[in-house]
Amino acid sequence: MSGQDMRVVLAEALASVAPEADFDSLRDEEDLREALELDSMDFFNFIVAVHKATGVDIPERDYPELATLAGAMAYLGR
């Protein structure tokens, strides 16, 4: 999956939990929970949406690695 494809998947997953979010204004190193005011359930639903879109299993211990766009892209790029 290319970097651009990953960004699209992440944007769609974020839009499913925070439809009002301005994905284009997010910086790669910005904490998604803070920037988008996601609570723990929203963040969990984001993880689930990423899993459904990519088929990548994301164990709970790895959730912190997806806290930023850069982290999520690196995780999915493994």
Region 8-29: mean pLDDT is 91
At a CB cut-off of 8 Å and minimum separation 6, what does 53 contact? 9, 12, 13
Give CA torsion, residues 11, 50, 28, 12, to 10 deg.
0
Kindly report, residue by residue over 28-71, the tens digit of the pLDDT. Answer: 999 999 999 999 999 999 999 999 999 999 999 999 999 999 99
| Per-residue CA distances from 13 to 27, 34, 43, 47 (Å) | 17, 16, 10, 8
Q: Where are the domains of the chain?
A: 3-20+32-76
Q: How many residues are there in the chain?
A: 78
Region 22-32: mean pLDDT is 90
